[in-house]
Amino acid sequence: MDRVILHCDLNCFYASVELLSRPELRESPVAVCGDPESRHGIILAKNEAAKQYGVQTAETIWQAKRKCPELILLPPHRDRYQTFSRLVNAIYGQYTDLVEPFGIDESWLDITGSMHLFGGDAAAIADWIRARVRRELGLTLSVGVSFNKVFAKLGSDYRKPDATTVIPREGWQEIVWPLPLGAMLYAGPAAQRALAKYGIRTIGELAGCGPALPEQLLGKLGRQLWEYASGLDGAPVRPQHEREPVKSVGNSTTFRENLTSRAQVRRGTARLCDSVAARLREQGLYCGAVAVGVRDAAFRTVSRQTRLPHSTHLRRELLEASMGLIDKIWRPPAPVRLISVTALALTDRLETYEQVDLFAPHRPAEDGKRERLELAVDEIRKKYGGEAISFGEAGGHPEDLPPED
């Protein structure tokens, strides 16, 4: 028996939540941005009215304003988004206990074992859920219905806003295979470029080429994407309470050439901290300690760790703590072959471990701005792939921003 999977995606989530408290703006073009006072702030979300002007997520405010001079800018309120995310997932939980959140505004539901309790029609259940969310919370969502998670997500993206799309077992190729490769989960820009060199630009072309070439070009990811394109995704829907508790989050890199300057080491460490911080935020975690390891050309590894003054999931704070440790165990130009960064003492909330110095300078506004920036980068990467955007090593500003559909 085939599974029945729903993928529910809240439409224009940030903007929709903001407009609940500003109903007079509902018909106006509105965007949520990280810093409304800065021309170089990033558009985090926009409503349907702003989309009509071509406003795109991840472009700068000045670019958006050039397209839509009357665009209204609103600051983000992360706490509100988290509250509504919990409320929406509580509604989903009334239809199945198999609910897997995917970010703050998307969730998979496996209703295979429970749909008979609600009439047995998956599309009708999806419509009921959409109606309830609209009536009870004032938000709209698009729902994809299919026999696996990847195609269910394709369905929720297929028609927006406020729509249900079914991709059935019979004839799924007619719907899925003509779609561009980038429409499929985890087929980011780098994978698309690599496959396009061999004339593979649609999901159907990927399925038709067999697994060998994608695996040769992209490794395990290539094989995985080929399986997705062939309708072979069998990943289960995993509810949050079934996930094993994470004790650490880390990453390491062995460099092609040994690093000999502090600038090179800092750049390499910055990339690792970016990866670790993004994974912490993805799992809703903070770390209270950080460990680093440095391996030299003779394969000797020295490690150190330190407690942080407060828990964090921000790249800049991990980077400064990591470089503080590295400076204690390494001196240039001694060659560095490998660096590792590991976040420890994980918690699901912000905590302070040291007594607060009332006379020390503290810049909560800057901290909040930095968090909004990194959360914006997370959203862009989730949509366009991990290589879609990066931080400038020194300033922490995103570069090469991609457009949104």
CB burial of residue 21 (10 Å; 0-12, 13-18, 19+): exposed
Cα–Cα distance between 227 and 55 in angstroms, integer? 34
Q: How far apart are CA 9 and CA 156, in angstroms?
A: 6
**Hey, what are 212's tokens?**
């060998």
The residue assigned the tokens 């407690």 is: 307
β-pairing, 336-347 vs 286-296, is antiparallel
Look up 59 and say whether it is catalytic.
no
Q: What is the identity of the amino acid at 135?
A: R
Please, which residues bridge with residue 340 across strands?
A: 252, 293
- Sequence-ordered list of residues with C-beta below 8 angstroms from that of 72, at least 6 positions apart, any chain: 25, 28, 29, 30, 31
Please provide residue 166's backbone torsions phi and psi, each rounded to the nearest 5 degrees.
-105, 130
Q: How far is it, in rounded angstroms, from Cα 207 to Cα 232? A: 10
Contacts of 324 (CB under 8 A, 6+ apart): 306
SS3 call for 174: helix
Cβ atoms of 6 and 144 within 8 Å: the answer is yes
What whole-number distance in Å separates Cα of residue 372 and Cα of residue 369? Answer: 5
Is 180 strand, coil or helix?
A: strand
Indicate the pairing of strand 301-312 with strand 99-101: unpaired
- Active-site annotation holder among 18, 106, 317, 379: 106
* CB neighbour list of residue 172: distance below 8 Å, 6 or more residues apart: 146, 147, 151, 231
Residues identified as active-site: 106
